[in-house]
Homo-oligomer: A and B are copies of this chain.
Amino acid sequence: MGKDRKIDMVILGLLSHEDLTGYDIKKQIDEAIGFFWKGSFGSIYPALGEMEKAGQIKKLPDRSSGSREKIKYRITKDGKNALKEWLKEEQSSNDLKYETLLKLYFGGVEKPEVSIHNIELFEEKIKADLNVLKWYKSNLEKVLDNNEHLHYYLTVTFGIDTYEAYLKWCARSKKLLKERV
């Protein structure tokens, strides 16, 4: 029941590293944690408003002389405490919604070619994303002495390890299905 909104923690987490605008936050979600988390403007901007009211973040004065408004936010002490409390909560919900697996699970009602094709679509997407993750990894390896970067590195290697497991599984699954064609 309520006030369990994870987008708040994403925002606090990103702001704990540097001051950002709503637009920046959206970009960082897509780029840095996009392979295991999503967020849209329609959830970010309202959250920023409420969190400012709650005192977890504050607006920084806009110095960009008369030009277009551009609102940078900074995390407050309250915000940092909320972030740390959340990190220490034992409960974590790890929800996957794998439509590809759903289609595979029910794929028996169609010809094996349909399932093979669905696996191939999945495989292509994973291969592309894996390349991006490997590029992130090689950049992060240069700065591993930094504690923050070590944490980024660990999430990236999680992605790489699981994606590589996916690809091996794809190859074996396609082989098994092709025997039925």
Chain B residues whose C-beta falls within 8 Å of the C-beta of A107 in the assembled complex: 87, 151
Copies of the chain in the assembly: 2
CA distance A162 to B169 in the complex (A): 9
Verify B97–A94 contact, CB threshold 8 A: yes
Looking at A5-13, A46-54, A131-139, the stretch in contact with chain B turns out to be A5-13
Is A103 part of the binding interface, using a Cβ–Cβ cutoff of 8 Å?
yes
CA distance A12 to B16 in the complex (A): 45
Residue from B108, B151, B157 in contact with A172 in the complex, judged by beta carbons closer than 8 Å: B157
Q: Report whether over half of chain A's contact residues are helix, strand or loop; otherwise say mixed.
A: helix
Looking at A18-26, A56-64, A65-73, A114-122, the stretch in contact with chain B turns out to be A114-122
Query: How large, as a class, is the contact surface on chain A?
Result: 35 or more
Verify B88–A114 contact, CB threshold 8 A: yes
With A16-B109, A105-B13 as known contacts, state yes or no: A92 contacts B168, CB within 8 Å.
no
With A16-B109, A36-B97, A97-B93 as known contacts, state yes or no: A150 contacts B176, CB within 8 Å.
yes
Q: Which residues in chain A, 124-163, are within 8 Å of chain B measured between CB atoms? A: 147-148, 150-152, 154-155, 157-158, 161-162
Verify B162–A102 contact, CB threshold 8 A: no
